[in-house]
Each structure stands twice: as structure tokens, then as C-alpha cells.
Amino acid sequence: MNDPRSGLRHFFAELRRRRVYRVAVVYAAVAFVIWQAADFALPALRLPDWVPTLVVVLTLVGLPIALVLAWAFDLTPEGIRRTESTAVEPAPGDVGGRGEKSRTGRRLLLSSAIALVVILVGSGVFYYLVDGRPEILSIAVLPLDNLSGDPEEEYFADGMTDALTTQLSQISALRVISRVSAMQYKGAQRPLPDIARELNVDAVVGGSVVRSEDRVRISAQLIHGPTDRNLWAQSYERDLRDVLALQADVARAIAAEVEAKLEPTEETRLASVGRVNSEAYQLYLKGRYLLWQSWTTGVDEEGLRRSIAYYEEALRLDPRFALAYSGMADSYFTLTDRSFIVPVREGYESAKEAALKALELDSSLADAWASLCTLRLWYDWDWSGAEEACLKAIDLDPNSANARNRYAYYLMTMGRFDEAIEEIDRARDLDPLNLGHMRSLGMMYHYARRYDEAVNTFNSLLEIDPDSRAARDALADARLRLGMFEQAVRHYEARIGPDSSTTDLANLAEAYAVAGNRARALDLLNLAEERSRTEYHSPYHLARLYATLGDNDRAMEWLEVAYDERSGWLPLIMTNASWDGLRSDPRFEALLERMGFEHRR
């Protein structure tokens, strides 16, 4: 009968003879060196965080493989040979075990090679299965190239970029960068990884668009931002009447490629697009192009009025074209907000009528809901209705920096400052290169009376855009509240000249009033009030000047004018520090009550 102990001794003897112990030790040493090298080199190569873990796992998996191969095979000068079952005597003259040392060295080489092969093969398989489809959670649609060769067609290429951005931004599973930030790379010859890093996105969508008579073709490609690797490319062509379906096709294809899960309502919206009047759609794009130019390069009254003319012409061709009504609402509001339409009541009514008509025709237009939010806030003083419209816009387009900015101003007006700052931070995340959001953040701090933070924000903005007049004015006002009178007065004094506007005079008058120079402030105020008879100036600002000077009677007179006019700035009386001296006045309290603020104080 065989002795089990004898068989066990024979097994361990075979392990020693076949150098399995030594292979295990050598393999462990090689694995340790690989781990140390990976820990040093991989961070410098900026590889994904999972790569070091993968190296450790694969070396551990390779250990039993190396031991099995060491048991079964030996690396000889003649190549890899199966190990004999019985011991082999040393060759004659092999003094000191040179053959044994040689075999040990070859086994070391074999174990090292096994470790490296396992890591390389395993990494390749893992890369193919996982990193071959990198996780994409954020996207920027870069300006599509105009392949027509006609500069007059730029409006069409930009319009297609805007439309594709809008389609993608309605997918809540993705973070989509706003058009304003993405369009700053129009014509830029920059490495895509740099652009992706600046916009903080995982991938960018690029491509081209060309229109030929009544056909339009979009060629799009999805590129992994960090590696500049092309993940997907496709061309789509349709009749211009089906351009909305074309945009939805591209958006759905990109969403599928990045494995973004669409909510049922999102899938329905993308699938339910209809046909358009091709000529009306092109007129709409021309109007939208002028509106965007006004928003991004400086408000231009002529350009805004031309945009309205384009929308009107589009609606003559297609009276049920909701997008044209939505664009018209934005153009009318912008004209009125900048006092190009007087009285302001007329401009706000035109904007509100257009927004409501757009939503009557298509209640899924997030931009129209955002416009209605703003109009209910600044014109209707419908506080609950304004919040409802803003939240509806964000629900329809969670990536709309525009809607979040408007909601932030609603929250600021209601005195909900922490929420306002959170919302404007979300807008900045979605639109990182739009300095308007940074300026808005400074205003949130200012109205929250966090003046130091307001000053820091405006200083940061001016480092990026030293020529921003709005930022310099806001900085001067914040400094005024901190008692930095000399700097604020000096800033506004530099504005005064033969062609100074009523606003310039009013700003300087307020600076002197806060600084305690009542006589100089009154002189400037009288001049501003005289100018206001021939040059429009908001009664709200004149009332604020009188309130700062402590003349409550005159302040209330001008506030009543602002109330009757529905002055766009009037809702700010709830939170603006300039009105603190009037808050105990019964007339002021009655005004707040008439505006519907009685339950929000």
C-alpha cells in the first residue's frame, strides 16, 4: 500500500526540482518592480485612474499561470521544452551547477515574460472592452463649418449648430455646454484636447453643414476630448422641410453612441418633430442670428429691429411657426430692457404676446418659457407665475444656462440669495466662457450685501475683460457700499463730459450722495431730472437717487411714476439697499403690497 506521506514528499521534491518555488519568488519580485514602475509612470502619462488597479490585478492573475507553466515547461537553449518527469543529472563538467544556474536564469526570464504578456494582453482586452468606449457625460457642440463657400450662409451654419445644441441639451443625462461658450471657438485652430479641457467636457461634436437648394446635409463626428480620438462619424441629408427631423436624428445618434439614457418624455420630443416651411425657417434663422449677435457682441437696436422684421416675414409665410414667435419675444424684450422702446409697457406687451403665442402653438419650447419667466418677473409682477415658468423651462431644457440665469434673478429678487448663487453657479458650469454669468454672480453678491465678494468677483471679471463697462460700474457701486467713496466717485467722474447720458449723471449723483456730498449730488440730480424731460431715463433710478438723499417725498413721487410705467427695475425695491431709508414709510409699504410683496417680506 502506498504511503501518502511518501507521495507528498515526492510532490514537494518535484516542486523544488522544477524550480517552481524559485519562479514564484522571481515572479513576485518582477511583479513588485512592475507595480513600483506603474506607480511612478502612469500618473505622468495621464492615464485613467483604473489603470494602476488593473496592473495589480493582472499580475496577481498571472501568478498561478506562471507556476503552472514552470511546472510543465522549461526554457532551454533549444527552446521551450516539456519538463521530464524524472530528475536529469548535471552534464559532465558542469562544475558548481552551471547548468542549474543557467536553467534558473532562463526560468527568471520566462516568469518575467509571462508577467509582462499577461499585463499587456489583459490591458489590451480591458481597453477594448472598457476604454474603447470611454464614459461620456458632458458634450460641447463646436461651430459647424459652412461648406457652401458663401459667407452669407454663415447664419445657416450657426443656426444648425444652435439647433443641434438645443436638441442635445434637452437630454438630462448629458451636460451640454451652452452655445455662447462653444461659439467662441468659431474659426479657432486649437487642439481639441485644449478646448475640451477649457470647457470641462468629455467629448466634443464637430462637423460641417451645407445647403444646396432645398436639401441640407450635416456631417457630424464625436471626438473624445482628452485623447482627440474619433469615436463616431456620420452624415445625414434631408429635404429642408424636414430639417427638424434631421437635427433630431443627429441628436439621437449621438445620444446612442455615448449610451445616454433618454427619459420617455425626451424620446417623445425627439420623435415628434414635424415639417417646416423651408423659406420661413431660413427667415427665422436670420432673425435668430441677429439676436445672438446682439446678445454676444453688444446690444444693437437696428439689428434687433431687423430680427423682428425677419420673424414677422416668417410668420406671414407660416402663421403657426412657434419658433418665430419665441425669437420675437426675446427681441422685443431685449429692445425694451435697453430702453429702445418707450413707453416700456408697449415693448413688454409685445414680448409677452409673442411668448404666449409661441407656447400656445408648442408648449415644449424651453426658450419661450424662459422668456415668459422674465416677463412675469419684471413686468407682470406675477411672482409665483414667474417661478413656475422658469422651472418649466429648466425641466424642458436642464442644460439651458439662459433659463438658469433668469431663474437666479427671480430668486435674487425674492431675497433667496443662497439659492440664486447656486443657480448662477450652475449656469456658469454650463456656459463657462460667458462672462455675463460672472457679472450676474457679482450682482447676486451685491444684492445679498456681501460686498467684499462682489468686489472680488468684479475684479476677477475685469482681469479677463478689462473693457467691460458694466463690470466697472458694478465694481464702483460695490466699493461705494464698502465706504470706498473716493474710488467710486473717481470712476463715475471720468464718465462726465458734453455727451454724458442721464444714466452717467445719475450714477455720479448717487456716488456723491452716499459719500455725503449732498450739494454736488443735488446739482447732478437736478441736471439728470431736467434731461429726463427730453431723454428717457428710468423713473426708478431717479426715485432711488432721492431716496439716497433722504428726500422720501420726491422718492415716492418717482416710484409712483415707475409703478404706473411698470418700470423693469421696480421689483428690486425688495432687496436693494438703496431703499432701506424708506422701508418704514407707510407709503412704501403700501407700494410693496400693491406689487404683491406683502407675503414675501
What is 505-553 written as a DSSP string?
Answer: HHHHHHHHHHHT-HHHHHHHHHHHHHHTTTS---HHHHHHHHHHTT-HH
pTM of the full structure: 0.79
User: 150-154, 465-469, 527-531: which has the minimum mean pLDDT?
Assistant: 527-531
Which one, of 252, 260, 301, 53, lies nearest residue 173 by Cα? Answer: 260
Look up residue 200 and give its DSSP letter: T
Cell triple for 430: 454650463
Which residue did the predictor score with more confidence, 35 or 350? 350
Q: 37-71 pLDDT, tens per residue?
A: 777 666 555 455 556 777 777 777 767 776 656 55
pLDDT for 564 equals: 94
User: 61-75, 294-308, 522-536, 556-570: which has the minimum mean pLDDT?
Assistant: 61-75
Query: Alpha carbon of 474 to those of 372, 462, 468: distances in Å?
Result: 27, 11, 10
Residue 463 pLDDT more than 80?
yes
Residue 552 pLDDT more than 80?
yes
pLDDT for 502 equals: 81
Cell numbers 418665430: residue: 324
pLDDT for 95 equals: 43
For the segment 413-422, the average pLDDT, to the nearest whole number, is 97
Residue 506 pLDDT more than 60?
yes
pLDDT for 352 equals: 97
Q: 275-329 pLDDT, tens per residue?
A: 999 999 999 999 999 998 888 777 788 999 999 999 999 999 999 999 999 999 9
pLDDT for 544 equals: 92
Which one, of 59, 78, 82, 56, lies nearest residue 69 by Cα? Answer: 82
For the segment 498-527, the average pLDDT, to the nearest whole number, is 90
Helix and strand numbers, DSSP H then E, in the chain? 26, 8
Whether the CB-CB separation of 359 and 368 falls below 8 Å is answered with: yes
Whether the CB-CB separation of 222 and 258 falls below 8 Å is answered with: yes
pLDDT for 46 equals: 47
Which residue did the predictor score with more confidence, 47 or 459? 459
Look up residue 242 and give its DSSP letter: G
For residue 90, whether the previous peptide bond is cis, meaning omega lies within 30 degrees of 0, is: no
Among the residues of 338-382, which ranges form H helices? 344-361, 366-375
Residue 580 pLDDT more than 60?
yes
CB under 8 A, 24+ apart: contacts of 313-319:
313/283, 314/277, 314/280, 314/281, 314/283, 314/284, 314/287, 315/280, 317/277, 317/279, 317/280, 317/283, 318/276, 318/277, 318/280
% of the chain residues with pLDDT over 90: 63
Which one, of 385, 394, 387, lies nearest residue 367 by Cα? Answer: 394
Which one, of 478, 188, 352, 285, lies nearest residue 293 by Cα? Answer: 285
Per-domain residue ranges for the chain? 4-131, 138-274
Does the structural domain 138-274 have CATH classification 3.40.50.10610?
yes
For the segment 559-576, the average pLDDT, to the nearest whole number, is 93
Residue 90 pLDDT more than 60?
no
For the segment 325-351, the average pLDDT, to the nearest whole number, is 89
How many Cα atoms sit within 13 Å of 292 on the Cβ side? Answer: 22
Confidence of residue 91 (pLDDT cuts 50, 70, 90): very low
Q: Is 55 helix (H, G, I), strand (E, B) or coil?
A: helix
Whether the CB-CB separation of 337 and 327 falls below 8 Å is answered with: no
Q: N- to C-terminal Cα distance for the chain?
A: 99
pLDDT for 436 equals: 93
Mean pLDDT of the chain: 85
Q: Is 452 helix (H, G, I), strand (E, B) or coil?
A: helix
Instruction: Give Cα 73 to chain centroid, integer Å.
Output: 59
Please calculate the CA angle 475-480-485 and round it to the nearest 5 degrees: 115
How many Cα atoms sit within 13 Å of 175 on the Cβ side? Answer: 17
For the segment 110-118, the average pLDDT, to the nearest whole number, is 56
Instruction: Give Cα 285 to chain centroid, integer Å.
Output: 23
pLDDT for 500 equals: 79
Residue 215's beta-bridge partner residues?
A: 212, 239
Q: What is the C-alpha separation between 80 and 340, in angstroms, rounded?
A: 88
Query: Alpha carbon of 208 to those of 142, 143, 164, 484: distances in Å?
Result: 10, 8, 12, 52
Q: 361-401 pLDDT, tens per residue?
A: 999 999 999 999 999 999 999 999 999 999 999 999 999 99
For the segment 69-84, the average pLDDT, to the nearest whole number, is 55
pLDDT for 222 equals: 96
Which one, of 477, 491, 437, 476, lies nearest residue 577 by Cα? Answer: 477
Residue 235's beta-bridge partner residues?
A: 219
pLDDT for 133 equals: 67
